[in-house]
Amino acid sequence: MLSVTLSGSFSLLPRLNNNRRSALFFARTKRTSLVTSALTSEKVAVSQDVMADSPNLSFPILVNGVTGKMGKAVAEAAVSAGLELVPISFSSVDKPARTLEISDIEISVHGPSEREEILSSVTDKYPDVVVVDYTVPDAVNANAELYCKFGVPFVVGTTGGDRSLLYKTVQDSNVYAVISPQMGKQVVAFLAAMEIMAKQFPGAFSGYKLEVMESHQATKLDTSGTAKAVIACFQKLGAIFDMNEIQMIRDPEEQINMVGVPEEYLSGHAYHLYNLTSPDETVSFEFQHNVCGRSIYAEGSIDAAIFLHKKVQSKAENKIYDMIDVLREGNMR
């Protein structure tokens, strides 16, 4: 059973040292967190309503980065959703030609030096293909430039890279894309609520000190894009924080003992905690969202691909979207 937990609380706390407060925050929120959604590891079938609204649902989808756990999860979710998985994927490193099997489909994996030639052949054979990118941060901008060069609509699930350049590349090319630092639908809804609060109540936390911890699997090299987005909202609300102060936890021992991550999910989790303390240290607010496993992101990525395919087919005026747009569209599986 994979679960997603979101919790919010406030309390009057005495000032504690950082290490002790960190342990207390995680311990207390573990006990009081409200489970708002549970996802099993079984594949989820597309609902009849979505099928009825999407007669051309079975479009081809190319998932880049299937050699990684996230890319593989997205590819499996694509097959489960009834999409046509293109038997090709890009890797971030050049290695001899190799294949791997996903949901009984043999995928041919190609390195960066082959990307342009391979993508050209893919677009010829699958003119309505949608790409979902789960490679590595260093490849984000180069991959986006390639997709835009060929006019291929794409979903960026990879975090990192130069995001300003990414948006400019897509805008200049007039290509359809879904760009989001977070693909988990429920977490995106939380982010949307934060943005609404920041817009409607600027300065509500003026002078409050913000502390942020984010724990992910050791293989995640960059800082969480979700954490940065939430922090930006708190800053608009008046909280004091420097992005360099984010506490990134990647050590498995700390994740088990301090954060409380179940051992079976050390290789795939996202635990976030945001604590705000008033200037006189008499009031503390806590916000937490914990995710174990990758199903929430994989399913959200497929929803984004389906959404994007519909926009392309309808020749929608807007070209760049995020997961909030996907949520607003409805028909979430």
Q: What is the pLDDT of residue 104?
A: 94
So what's the pLDDT on residue 96? 75
Read off the pLDDT of residues 30-66 as tens digits, 9 standing for 90 and up. 433 333 333 333 333 333 343 334 444 789 999 999 9
Q: How far apart are the first and last CA of the chain?
A: 18
Q: What is the SS3 assignment for 137? A: helix
pTM score: 0.74
pLDDT at residue 13, as a whole number: 29
- Give the catalytic positions in this structure: 216, 220
The tokens of 54 are what? Answer: 């999407």
pLDDT at 93: 82
Q: Report the alpha-carbon distance of residue 165 to residue 157 in Å, rounded.
A: 16
Question: Strand (E) positions, the chain?
Answer: 2-11, 34-39, 60-64, 84-85, 88-90, 98-102, 105-110, 130-133, 154-156, 177-179, 209-216, 247-249, 269-277, 284-292, 320-321
Tokens of residue 84, six digits: 């046509």
162 close to 154: Cβ distance less than 8 angstroms: no
pLDDT tens by residue, 214-239:
999 998 888 998 899 999 999 999 99
Residues (pLDDT < 70) of the chain are 1-56, 331-333
